[in-house]
Amino acid sequence: MQYPYAEELDEKKAENLRMALAYLSKNKFPPCPVNYRIAYDHVAGKSAELSTVLKDTNEQHQLTQEQLWEIYQRFFVQDKKALEKIREEMRSIVSSLHGEFQRSGGELTGFSSELDHFSNKLDTADSIHELSEDVQQMIQGTQSAIASQKKFDAYLANLESEVQQLRREIDQIKEESMTDVLTGIANRRAFDEELQKCMDVADKKHTPLSLLLIDVDHFKKFNDTYGHLVGDKVLKYVAGILKNCVKGQDFAARYGGEEFAVILPQTSSIGAKVIAEQIRQSISVNELQNRNKGESYGKITASIGISQYSFDGDAGNLIGRSDEALYKAKQNGRNRVVAA
Residue-wise pLDDT tens digits, 74-88 = 777 655 566 566 556
* SS3 at position 224: helix
Q: Domain holding 215: CATH number?
A: 3.30.70.270
Query: Based on the domain organization, do 45 and 83 belong to the same domain?
Result: no
* SS3 at position 289: strand
Query: Based on the domain organization, do 305 and 166 belong to the same domain?
Result: no
Query: Based on the domain organization, do 153 and 71 belong to the same domain?
Result: no
Query: Based on the domain organization, do 312 and 205 belong to the same domain?
Result: yes
Query: Based on the domain organization, do 155 and 251 belong to the same domain?
Result: no
Domain presence at residue 142? yes
Query: Based on the domain organization, do 229 and 281 belong to the same domain?
Result: yes
pLDDT of residue 109: 57
Whether the per-residue pLDDT at 54 is higher than 90: the answer is no
Query: Based on the domain organization, do 87 and 45 belong to the same domain?
Result: no
Average pLDDT of the segment spanning 89-104: 56
Which residue type, as a one-letter code, is found at position 75?
F
- In this structure, of 111-115, 182-186, 278-282, the range with the lowest mean pLDDT score is 111-115
Domain presence at residue 334? yes
287 classed as catalytic: no
% of the chain beyond a pLDDT of 70: 69
pTM: 0.58
Query: Based on the domain organization, do 170 and 202 belong to the same domain?
Result: no
pLDDT in tens, 267-280: 999 999 999 999 99
Residues 6+ away with beta carbon under 8 Å from 252? 185, 186, 239, 242, 243, 246, 260, 261, 262, 263
pLDDT of residue 124: 57
Select the highest-mean-pLDDT range: 49-53, 160-164, 336-340. 336-340
Domain presence at residue 335? yes
Query: Based on the domain organization, do 207 and 325 belong to the same domain?
Result: yes
Whether the per-residue pLDDT at 18 is higher than 70: the answer is yes
CA 18 vs CA 11, 50, 111: distances in Å: 11, 19, 68
Domain presence at residue 167? yes
* Residues forming beta bridges with residue 211, ordered by sequence position: 263, 307
pLDDT of residue 68: 84
The model's confidence at residue 254, banded by pLDDT at 50, 70 and 90, is: very high
Looking at 124, 142, 177, the residue that finishes a domain is 177
Residues 6+ away with beta carbon under 8 Å from 56? none
Select the highest-mean-pLDDT range: 4-13, 107-116, 213-222. 213-222
pLDDT of residue 2: 45
Query: Based on the domain organization, do 209 and 332 belong to the same domain?
Result: yes
Domain presence at residue 3? no
pLDDT of residue 14: 73
Q: How many domains does the chain have?
A: 3
Looking at 75, 102, 119, the residue that finishes a domain is 75
In which domain, by residue range, is 297 found? 188-339
CA 199 vs CA 206, 254, 264, 309: distances in Å: 10, 19, 11, 8
* Residues forming beta bridges with residue 215, ordered by sequence position: 259, 303
Which residue is catalytic, options 258, 277, 287, 295?
Answer: 258
Looking at 75, 94, 119, the residue that finishes a domain is 75
328 closest CA partner among 305, 302, 294, 310: 305
Average pLDDT of the segment spanning 209-228: 90
Domain presence at residue 259? yes
Whether the per-residue pLDDT at 163 is higher than 70: the answer is no
Query: Based on the domain organization, do 206 and 331 belong to the same domain?
Result: yes
Query: Based on the domain organization, do 50 and 63 belong to the same domain?
Result: yes
pLDDT of residue 89: 62
Domain presence at residue 160? yes
pLDDT of residue 28: 83
Average pLDDT of the segment spanning 11-40: 79
Average pLDDT of the segment spanning 10-37: 78
Domain presence at residue 290? yes
Dihedral sign computed on CA atoms, order 230, 235, 237, 240: negative
pLDDT of residue 49: 79
The chain-wide mean pLDDT, for the chain, equals 79
